[in-house]
Amino acid sequence: MSGAARRRLRVGLFTNNYLPMLGGVCTAVETVRTALERFGHDVVVVAPGAAVPGQDAPHVLRVPAVPAPTYPDFALPLPVGPRLARRIRALDLDVFHAQHPFLLGGTARRLARASGRPLVFTYHTLYDKYAHYVPGPRPLVARAAIVWSTRFANAADLVVAPSAGLAARLRAQGVQRPIEVLPTGVDLGRFRPGDRAAARRRLGLPPGVPVLLYVGRLDREKNLDFLLETFQRVADCHRTVRLLLVGRGTQEAALRRRAARLGAGDRVAFVGGVAPAAVAPYYQAADLFVFASTTETQGLAVLEAMATGLPVVAVRAGGVDEALVDGVSGLLAPEASADFAAAVLELLRDDGLARKLAAGAREGALAFTADGLGQRLAALYYRLVGETAPAP
């Protein structure tokens, strides 16, 4: 292509997870799409499942799919046939951006190579930590996931890692292609501090009780058994505290049973899945955000909480510890229920510290904007296609 600046790129985001499914990858893809479109680029999302009336057109190209046996919310795309492949080729994409190393990621790789266009791969997930969703011996599946994802990354022209820790991990596991650390940003207009009392009235929450909040999938890798165990310790010391779990997943029934067995189980509320556009009031209504996952590449929900000015207590783990600064925007605790509970209780008892961390959380989130993501990603695309990015 010519070296002249080209202000409008045609970008294909190939993802196995997309709205109306809920989850971090879905949120990240939608954030990328909207950010790039705000800067004038043409973006199409190639995703599995049936079309969603009023939501998909014109930016989504759906691939026929079937529910995954081990995770019904996950749609397994069927092989892309010649007709659909022709439709994608007709888009004349400048960049093929895969969000996964398999299924539609493989489609992106094949079509990128056939068209001579660059392939970008965002490594969203620690795939070996999700081996329990795949039939077969878990150690073997986990090792195969690492080998497969590394091989795919080495077939890409550029790999995007949401955190520096993940980039180092990818190098250690054998990724030799260029890696750019590019955290997914948040919409600071949507996720911002609000009137807690008004948010509670809107959600039907009582005004005078402390509320702990978790937002995310209710799945094994999110470490929610630990979170419930910790909440029991907190509730034993604080008789009015409540825990809201916003999300759905494969472990919901088991977690409900576990909560019912707790002495404070009546103070655990399962809210269910909430669309991204409607989740901000839950952050605004809460006193603290609690997060126990140790399998994150970034932890988008933590950033959303921070952007809302909500103090965070999280397990010290990769990804999260790059966004959350201990003692500045929240508290990082070991994966030990007594220590985690102590951190939560400290913030419930010390209003001054909670206010300080709330202000620090919002300030820290300002470094992770959706528009910043869009600008940096577009600059990487321009570099790959051999053009100069236009000045902001």
| pLDDT in the model for residue 389 | 58
| pLDDT in the model for residue 131 | 85
Fold (CATH) for 196-365: Rossmann fold (3.40.50)
Output the pTM of the full model: 0.93
Fold (CATH) for 10-185+369-385: Rossmann fold (3.40.50)
| pLDDT in the model for residue 70 | 83
- For residue 313, give the nearest of 280, 348, 266 by alpha carbon: 348
In this structure, the dihedral spanned by the alpha carbons of residues 295, 271, 253 and 256, taken in order and rounded to 10 degrees, is 100
State the 10-residue block means of pLDDT for the chain, 392 residues long.
Answer: 63 95 93 95 95 79 91 88 94 98 97 97 94 87 94 98 97 98 95 96 94 97 97 94 96 95 89 94 98 94 97 95 95 97 98 98 96 96 82 57
Identical topology for domains 10-185+369-385 and 196-365: yes
| pLDDT in the model for residue 3 | 42
| pLDDT in the model for residue 391 | 57
- For residue 374, give the nearest of 18, 41, 4 by alpha carbon: 41
Whether residue 267 contacts residue 259, with contact meaning beta carbons closer than 8 Å, is answered with no
Q: What span, in angstroms and rounded, lies between the C-alpha atoms of 105 and 15? A: 7
Helix axis angle for 337-349 and 351-365, nearest 10°, is: 100
Q: For the chain, give every domain's residue range.
A: 10-185+369-385, 196-365
